[in-house]
Amino acid sequence: MGCSFSGLNALYDAVNGGGDVWINENRFKIVRQLGEGGFAYVYLVKEVVSDSSSALANGLAKKVKDPSHLSDDRTYAIKKVLIQNNEQLDLVRDEIRVSSLFSHPNLLPLLDHTIISVKPTQEGSWNHEAYLLFPVHLDGTLLDNSKAMTSRKEFFSAPDVLQIFRQEENNSKLEELGPENESKEVGLKHMHNLGPPYAHNDVKPGNVLLSHRKGKCPLAILMDFGSARPARKQIRSRSEALQLQEWASEHCSAPFRAPELWDCPSDADIDERTDIWSLGCTLFAIMYGVSPFEYALGESGGSLQLAIINAQIKWPAGPKQPYPEEFHHFVTWMLQPQPALRPCIDDIIYHVDKLVTKFSQ
Ligand X SMILES: Nc1ncnc2c1ncn2[C@@H]1O[C@H](COP(=O)(O)OP(=O)(O)OP(=O)(O)O)[C@@H](O)[C@H]1O
Q: Which of 37, 120, 230, 316 binds ligand X (CB under 6 A)?
A: 37
What is the rounded distance in angstroms from the CA atom of residue 305 to the CA atom of residue 327?
24
Q: Cβ closer to ligand X: 31 or 101?
A: 31
Q: Which helix (H) or strand (E) holds 157?
A: none
Longest dimension (CA), the chain: 65
Which neighbouring-strand residues pair with 117? Answer: 128
x/- letters, 72..111, toward ligand X (CB under 6 A): -----x-x----------------------------x---
| Residue 210 within binding range of ligand X, rule CB under 6 A | no
| Residue 260 within binding range of ligand X, rule CB under 6 A | no
Q: Which of 47, 112, 224, 294 binds ligand X (CB under 6 A)?
A: 224
- Given its phi and psi angles, is residue 201 left (phi above 0), alpha (psi -120 to 50 degrees) or beta? left
Q: Which of 209, 283, 285, 297 binds ligand X (CB under 6 A)?
A: 209
Q: Cβ closer to ligand X: 108 or 352?
A: 108
What is the rounded distance in angstroms from the CA atom of residue 204 to the CA atom of residue 289?
11
Q: Cβ closer to ligand X: 228 or 264?
A: 228
Closest CA to 143 of 82, 193, 85, 210: 210
Phi/psi of residue 28, nearest 5 degrees: -135, 140
Q: Cβ closer to ligand X: 136 or 228?
A: 136
| Residue 254 within binding range of ligand X, rule CB under 6 A | no
- Tell whether 233 is in a known binding site: no
* Angle subtended at Cα 275 by Cα 326 and Cα 173, rounded to the nearest 5 degrees: 75
Task: Tell me whether the omega of the peptide bond preceding residue 196 falls within 30 degrees of 0, making it cis.
Answer: yes
Q: Cβ closer to ligand X: 37 or 316?
A: 37
Binding window for ligand X (CB under 6 A); candidates: 5-13, 33-41, 172-180, 283-291: 33-41
Q: Which of 137, 200, 273, 342 binds ligand X (CB under 6 A)?
A: 137
| Residue 241 within binding range of ligand X, rule CB under 6 A | no
Q: With contact defined as beta carbons under 8 Å apart, do 225 and 233 qualify? A: no
Minimum distance from residue 346 beta carbon to ligand X (Å): 28
Supply the DSSP symbol for 141: B
**Residue nearest ligand X by beta-carbon distance:** 37
| Residue 134 within binding range of ligand X, rule CB under 6 A | yes
- Given its phi and psi angles, is residue 119 left (phi above 0), alpha (psi -120 to 50 degrees) or beta? beta
Closest CA to 196 of 260, 258, 272: 272
Q: Which of 96, 136, 208, 210 binds ligand X (CB under 6 A)?
A: 136
Residues annotated within a binding site for ATP = 63
Residues that bind ligand X (CB under 6 A): 34-38, 40, 42, 77, 79, 108, 134, 136-137, 141, 206, 209, 223-224, 226
